[in-house]
Amino acid sequence: MRRIIITLLVLILNLMFAGCGGVFFRQWPQHSEHLPVSHELDSVPFYPQEAYQCGPASLSMALTWSGIQTNPETITPEVFTPSRKGSLQSAMIGATRRHGRLAYPITGPDSIFEEVSAGHPVIVLQNLGLSWYPVWHYAVVVGYDLHKSTVILHSGVTPRKRLSFRVFYNTWARSDYWGLLVLSPSRLPAMATKHNYISAVLGLEKAHQWRAAIEGYKTALARWPGSLSARMGLGNSYYALGDLESAEAAFREATRRFPTDGMAFNNLAQVLWEQGKQQEALEAAGRAVDLDGPLVEEYRKTLKGIQAGKP
């Protein structure tokens, strides 16, 4: 009888802790040789949170750090969902963009200290509970110490709270290492990849933050001058602002660098046409159609539109 009870208890314990995040300790952080031994940002303000308001508080800290004057009270209606008593990640990203800031998500545990040592605070989502009893919490990582194995966070009502790597890693792993950089579009994340960065700038376009998007695409082009997407995005953002001359310049540069790509010629044609440069527009649109490609139907429409007359 006793054996059966023990077996059952072991089974229950196993079930309780099954799937509770990554199992520390797989030598984290990896590749830390090139990192400063410790780093702490002193330029990130601290806003203590009220009940359930860790999302607005964390976002306010990051936005204020990035140069946007704000506070948790003004941010709360933008991100907080009362029925869920919390803030969804998508709302955090959306609010960041609405303030003209670049929302760069971090996925995976490996780049967080690179960002902090480059001077960027990182909003992280932790599950302070267990996988089957989640207690979701946003905090802002503002420092770390490799010697003492601690992460320093602005968290809840505690500024500069120190957590051991083990606790931090385990609570963060339960959100699949969700993290967010809130950056001025003139800054590049320390570990930026081209596609992720341009996707983040595209988010600014979606939020109709054209000026911020322009800035972001320029930042992208300084780093990846060969990116057609960034150059087209730059032209499209100028176009959306009504700055046709700058849009034309961007698309012209795109056609110069990518003379075999119809997309650049198509947009150049449209912009020329809207400036009344009919002949040049016809040439560009014809070129796009000649170059062919999966979007050739779009190019034909543009060409027909120009041939038909008025913009």
Partner 1 sequence: MVRRVAKPVSIVLTICMLLLSLPHKSAFAGMIGTETVLDATRGQEARDYLNRIFARADVRASLIAQGIDPLEAKARVASLSDAEIVSLADQIEELPAGGSALGIIVGALLIVFIVLLITDILGYTDIFPFVKKHSEVK
Residues contributing to the site for partner 1 (CB under 8 A): 31, 34, 110-111, 114, 191, 193-195, 198-199, 202, 205, 226-229, 232-233, 236-237, 239-240, 263, 266-267, 269-270, 273, 294-295, 298, 301-302, 305
| CB of 92 or CB of 200, closer to partner 1 | 200
Q: Which residue has the tokens 């203590």?
A: 48
What single letter denotes the amino acid at residue 223? R
| CB of 82 or CB of 294, closer to partner 1 | 294
**CA-angle at 278, arms to 274 and 279, nearest 5°:** 145
CB of 3 to partner 1, least distance (A): 42
CB of 269 to partner 1, least distance (A): 8
| CB of 154 or CB of 231, closer to partner 1 | 231
161: number of Cβ within 10 Å:
15
Residue 301: partners with Cβ closer than 8 Å, 6 or more residues away: none
CB of 85 to partner 1, least distance (A): 30
| CB of 75 or CB of 106, closer to partner 1 | 106
The token pair that represents 11 in the structure block? 């089974």
What distance lies between CA 127 and its chain's CA centroid? 21
Helix/strand/coil for 70: coil
Cα distance between residue 99 and residue 69, in whole Å: 10
CB of 80 to partner 1, least distance (A): 28
CB of 47 to partner 1, least distance (A): 32
CB of 26 to partner 1, least distance (A): 16
| CB of 23 or CB of 308, closer to partner 1 | 308
CB of 135 to partner 1, least distance (A): 30
| CB of 87 or CB of 117, closer to partner 1 | 117
Contact (CB, 8 A) for 200 and 217: no
CB of 160 to partner 1, least distance (A): 27
| CB of 169 or CB of 273, closer to partner 1 | 273
Helices (H), 19-71: 54-65
What's the residue count for the chain? 311
- Burial-class residue 18 by CB neighbours within 10 Å (0-12, 13-18, 19+): exposed
Cα distance between residue 202 and residue 216, in whole Å: 9
What single letter denotes the amino acid at residue 272? L
Contact (CB, 8 A) for 175 and 210: no
Contact (CB, 8 A) for 271 and 244: yes
